[in-house]
Chain A
Amino acid sequence: NAGVTQTPKFRILKIGQSMTLQCAQDMNHNYMYWYRQDPGMGLKLIYYSVGAGITDKGEVPNGYNVSRSTTEDFPLRLELAAPSQTSVYFCASSYSQGARDTQYFGPGTRLTVL
């Protein structure tokens, strides 16, 4: 199993540009998540999904959109990129809603908006 994969690894955007961060998992997990991590800070939840066709906002959803058309894929869309969106973005997945269920993270996408 590849686990959770993310592309691209790095990206530089100009202010106002748009892009999609890709995330895929091959563990047949129902739950998927997008986080951002700013330097020296904890992870903040952007959006999450409990299954194909179902998404919901997390703590910091403004400026982002998601879709979940399949169990495997959970892309994150940035519209009109702003410098405040410079961060490291992690995608994660977990099998169920069990209280002790582990979240598995992808390697991250480092995004810089100039």
Chain B
Amino acid sequence: RKEVEQDPGPFNVPEGATVAFNCTYSNSASQSFFWYRQDCRKEPKLLMSVYSSGNEDGRFTAQLNRASQYISLLIRDSKLSDSATYLCVVNEPGSARQLTFGSGTQLTVLP
């Protein structure tokens, strides 16, 4: 089983749609969770951290379910500029800032 697993997509949605991505992780001791965004042929950039209580940043909402070991990202009112690959990232407990990256979910927002 992969340590961090994501549906690779692609997700093709029209502008204005709501889209949700899920991610599962295998290490129950993981404590930090993130969503990174990676544009085509560019470096990953932090989109948002994921907190236990869930958190929202504008049109983006992240949720964490520790019991089921999954993380979700919800994007409302999709924009063309949201087209990118979204990486689920989980920390590696007990090691110096080692993060495990999922292989990403590709999103294309269509006009």
Residues of A within 8 A of B103 (CB): 40-42
Q: A42–B31 contact, CB under 8 A?
A: no
Q: B44–A105 contact, CB under 8 A?
A: yes
Instruction: Provide the bound-state CA to CA distance between A27 and B32, in Å.
Output: 23
B85 shortest CB reach to chain A, Å: 10
Residues of A within 8 A of B101 (CB): 35, 42-44
> Would A97 and B97 be within 8 Å (CB), given that A40-B8, A42-B87 are in contact?
yes
A23 shortest CB reach to chain B, Å: 12
Instruction: Provide the bound-state CA to CA distance between A33 and B97, in Å.
Output: 9
Q: B97–A31 contact, CB under 8 A?
A: yes
Q: How large is the interface on A (under 10, 10 to 19, 20 to 34, 35 or more residues)?
A: 20 to 34
A24 shortest CB reach to chain B, Å: 15
Q: B43–A108 contact, CB under 8 A?
A: yes
Identify which of A31, A33, A99, A101 gathers the most chain B CB atoms within 10 Å of its CB. A99
Contact with B along A37-59 (1 / 0, CB 8 A): 00011111100101000001010
Closest to A31 in B: B97
Instruction: Provide the bound-state CA to CA distance between A105 and B32, in Å.
Output: 18
> Would A106 and B97 be within 8 Å (CB), given that A40-B103, A100-B32, A100-B49 are in contact?
no
**A20: Cβ under 8 A from any B Cβ:** no
List the interface of chain B (C-beta within 8 A of A): 4, 8, 31-32, 42-46, 49, 87, 91, 96-104
Besides A40-B8, A97-B96, A105-B45, 9 more A-B contacts (Cβ < 8 Å) are A31-B96, A42-B101, A42-B103, A44-B101, A48-B97, A94-B97, A102-B46, A103-B99, A108-B42
